Chain A
């Protein structure tokens, strides 16, 4: 197998892992939205496939580096693919966390306003992740930049949540549910960071420079 074929295969593996992750994330957010515990179980089980895909990319990348010693464009591409797979795996773990949360709040009273915020943030993360992967696939610098900027919206939502919390305090029954949703928001915020990291990889691939957005 030639170097080009190996890198091409690595790319294909990454983008099919990406599709898998985005799909799972979407189902997870939907499950959280509709508080569907069964759907959450299905999503949790699917994470095994994501982990397998990650390990394959990891192994193939490692063997590629050892046997082909790529340079220049090939090196940037191979390294970007490897690092992107790491972020995707984390997003996979995020979906699992959402599912756990869905299960935990299934029999708890939760503040509706916060629930809405969490779900909204979830859809934002899906949107950002999907665009980030698209920018990597088409090596689109502009898309990467606009996507990275969306992180500020997540920060805004976070601040809104903080305001809401102060409105709700006092009703002790809601505390457990509240706690769960707040940790959910923190985790989703990190999800946004992973999406931004993928955008940085796109920038590295295109320009050859390491930078933080």
Chain B
């Protein structure tokens, strides 16, 4: 069965309850003449966790970075198609990428706190966005929401690089949510962490999703099955010039994808038979 399958048999909530937060229509991302990911169309829903899974090189990270215009930093990158964020085309001429990145936050694969104090890490985002009223309260709120407050409240001036890997990643989450985005993009946030730290981040995501919409790229299928509400499976297809382009194969609610996926390719990937 060729083509993309959009399988939205969500028995627990009707379509009316689901607000769309990202509406992706025929989006492709090119680096120069290399097509990294081709022709993706999907909807992502508010206050849900959506996971992108698939083998290496299938364009998941490239795609997620076009959702907050981080691809603008790569001169040869070009995004075609339409990415509507709550109805607004993110690549419209009038849209300011700096504002986009405040509304759509990002947490990276390797924890990257600034080499400053814990307090300063969070204060930086607040300052550049002119959110400096009640600075200390905002910092406390962000750290509490990120389940880090109790561990660091006694020592906010400690250098962030002295924290453990899991704590650093939670700090990165805290500084992202401090600037009050609506959506958080996570690019393999747990791949550099040990299992205990990973579980803490996964539990945190379940709490955060009540306030934010979360989009996560992950290599770990079990993580996707545990954590996400919706799952998008990408794979690479070889093109004429010998390179590989990423494509969306199947997008459905997680329960269906892991109990009865439609595409055989999806089934093979999640059961570990390839990739």
Question: Do A and B have CB atoms closer than 8 angstroms in the complex?
Answer: yes
When A and B form their complex, what is the total count of cross-chain residue pairs whose Cβ atoms lie within 8 Å? 20
16 contacts between A and B (CB under 8 A): A1-B206, A2-B203, A3-B226, A62-B259, A63-B255, A63-B259, A66-B255, A66-B258, A67-B225, A67-B226, A67-B254, A67-B255, A68-B225, A68-B226, A69-B222, A69-B225
B259 neighbours in A (Cβ, 8 Å): 62-63, 66
- Contact pattern, B 175-208, Cβ under 8 Å of A = 1, otherwise 0: 0000000000000000000000000000100100
Interface of B is mostly: helix
- Contact pattern, B 229-259, Cβ under 8 Å of A = 1, otherwise 0: 0000000000000000000000000110011
- Contact pattern, A 173-210, Cβ under 8 Å of B = 1, otherwise 0: 00000000000000000000000000000000000000
A67 neighbours in B (Cβ, 8 Å): 225-226, 254-255, 258
Interface of A is mostly: helix
In this complex, what residue of A is CB-closest to B255? A63
In this complex, what residue of B is CB-closest to A69? B222
Smallest CB separation, B164 vs chain A (Å): 23
Smallest CB separation, A133 vs chain B (Å): 28
Q: Which 4 A-B pairs have the closest CB atoms?
A: A66-B258, A67-B225, A66-B259, A63-B255
Interface residues of A in 91-110 (CB under 8 A from B): none
Seen from chain A, the residues whose Cβ lies within 8 Å of a Cβ on chain B are: 1-3, 62-63, 66-69
A66 neighbours in B (Cβ, 8 Å): 225, 255, 258-259
B225 neighbours in A (Cβ, 8 Å): 66-69
- Measured in the bound complex, the distance between the Cα atoms of B226 and A69 in whole Å is 9
- Measured in the bound complex, the distance between the Cα atoms of B259 and A192 in whole Å is 34
- Measured in the bound complex, the distance between the Cα atoms of B258 and A62 in whole Å is 10
- Measured in the bound complex, the distance between the Cα atoms of B230 and A67 in whole Å is 12
Smallest CB separation, A8 vs chain B (Å): 16
- Measured in the bound complex, the distance between the Cα atoms of B259 and A67 in whole Å is 8
- Measured in the bound complex, the distance between the Cα atoms of B254 and A62 in whole Å is 13
Smallest CB separation, A71 vs chain B (Å): 11
A69 neighbours in B (Cβ, 8 Å): 222, 225
Q: From A3, A63, A66, A69, name the one whose CB has the most chain B CB atoms within 10 angstroms.
A: A66
Smallest CB separation, A46 vs chain B (Å): 25
Smallest CB separation, B51 vs chain A (Å): 11
Smallest CB separation, B258 vs chain A (Å): 4
